[in-house]
Structure 1
């Protein structure tokens, strides 16, 4: 790899980091090929703590306290990785999570609510398509790990059902 590649690669990686931050992404992976045996694989990522953002819509106001309620109720659960929890509902795709069927409507579920297997718990918009995410098993919603309108990645924990 030449010095020209190195200088350009540093600028490229900085541009990826700026893209990551400006679009609220948590990870970007890129492979840049210069020739047959000359390539650069870059993975830029950051760890983020999911915090419910305040929303302008009145229906989203109850979501923020619910998402932050476990912080005071069970600090031991917060330190553990929610993705490892046996009741974690993982995102089946990359997209934007919505907790209600449309703006102004009541959320699909709330913390403490009983759900049945197959019941829609949220939707993920991907490529302008609304995908209903069903509860994988019956149980009670213990934690909602995403705020309404936030981007999610494949495999990211969305909520915990016990």
Structure 2
């Protein structure tokens, strides 16, 4: 069984919108377990069994923020003619597909909708982020290999 990055993204999105707390996929090639935050796994009687229990929201204490949240809006002074490309997840930002490869985009580059502009690594999965609009890259606000938060503005694009 093969699972593409797109199929994996769809699976994660479907899981996040459902009441399912944990999902495990097994094949001869791999085993993948997805678990929602706040799920508590307890050992059950019998060999190699798990019971997943949803923790009540009050029982889960949020981790203290490591950095202030960055709003997904254009910084002051950049004008309203730019659109923000924001991170869809927490992870590590990469400008190129590999360290020795050139960056996907640079300031001043023209991009088209659907074009890969960066990679966000989350849980050892490389997630290509595609532009939703065509335009020109005005500014790249994140350094290569820098951790990013959900909703953090990564790049500013002037639509054409």
TM-score range, shorter chain: 0.5 to 0.7
Q: Structure 2 vs 1, CA of residues 106 and 40 (structure 1 numbering), >3 Å: closer, same or farther?
A: closer
Q: How far apart, CA to CA, are the structure 2 residues paired with 1:122 and 1:130?
A: 10
Q: How far apart, CA to CA, are the structure 2 residues paired with 1:147 and 1:44?
A: 24
Note the 1:1-162 alignment, pairs <5 A: 44-45=64-65, 46-47=67-68, 80=76, 87-162=83-158
The answer to whether the 8 A contact 1:125-1:131 is kept is yes
Q: Give the CA deviation at 1:150.
A: 0.6
Q: Structure 2 vs 1, CA of residues 91 and 85 (structure 1 numbering), >3 Å: closer, same or farther?
A: farther
Q: How far apart, CA to CA, are the structure 2 residues paired with 1:94 and 1:123?
A: 12
Q: Unpaired segments of 5 or more residues in structure 1? A: 1-29, 31-35, 50-76
Q: How far apart, CA to CA, are the structure 2 residues paired with 1:81 and 1:127?
A: 35
Q: Give the CA deviation at 1:47.
A: 3.4
The answer to whether the 8 A contact 1:90-1:157 is kept is yes
The answer to whether the 8 A contact 2:69-2:152 is kept is no
Give the SS at the match of 1:47. coil
Q: Give the CA deviation at 1:104.
A: 1.3
Give the SS at the match of 2:156. strand
In the superposition, the TM-score normalised over structure 1's length comes to: 0.52
Moved over 6 A (4+): none
The answer to whether the 8 A contact 1:85-1:160 is kept is no
Higher helix share: 1
In the superposition, the TM-score normalised over structure 2's length comes to: 0.52
Q: How far apart, CA to CA, are the structure 2 residues paired with 1:87 and 1:48?
A: 19
